[in-house]
Amino acid sequence: MKISAPVKAALLFTLLLVGRIVGPIPTRAQDSPKGSDADRAEIKQTFVDFYQSYSRHDAHATAMTFTEDADFTNMFGDYFHGREAVEQKFADLFRGALRDATRTDIVRNIRFYTPGIALVDADTVLIGTKRTDGSVGPVRKGLMIVVMTKQNGVWRISNFHEAEYPYRAEPAIP
């Protein structure tokens, strides 16, 4: 595939800009920043705070696990910017489809890009969501993918994305 000169220039500019903002990208595993055990524990605690406040239907406490300027995209692709918008979205959900829901998020991987920025993957299990007819829906499982940022010594969610796994029937045992 041939790339035009303007596209090459735009790609080069983007790479240079990312390099100036993010800094050098590690090229080998041993060059990757390693978070401390304390940072890992604090990140995991932020996840616990998130899903426990979610399961208590406390929109304010749930939103407080996010940075002030967070970006939030849910399983349906709905996007919200800022802690205030995130809190309002959770308040609406907790009055509706999630009024009886409980959630658990188990961290499966933490990768530090800088001492203050980490990408975190977590397995999500959501129980008790309401369907539009008021009945309880099936257990929902998915993947929560977040960028965590350490601000003023506290790890918070700055970018939140989640993907729901499609329902897969268990195979019949012959």
Q: What is the pLDDT of residues 115-139, one digit of tens each?
A: 999 999 999 999 999 998 999 999 9
Sign of CA dihedral 88, 92, 93, 99: positive
Domains in the chain, CATH or no CATH each: 32-164 (3.10.450.50)
Q: CA angle at residue 88 from 43 to 158, to 5 degrees?
A: 30
Helix/strand/coil for 146? strand
For 39-61, how does the pLDDT look when each residue is reduced to its tens digit (9 = 90+)? 999 999 999 999 999 999 999 99
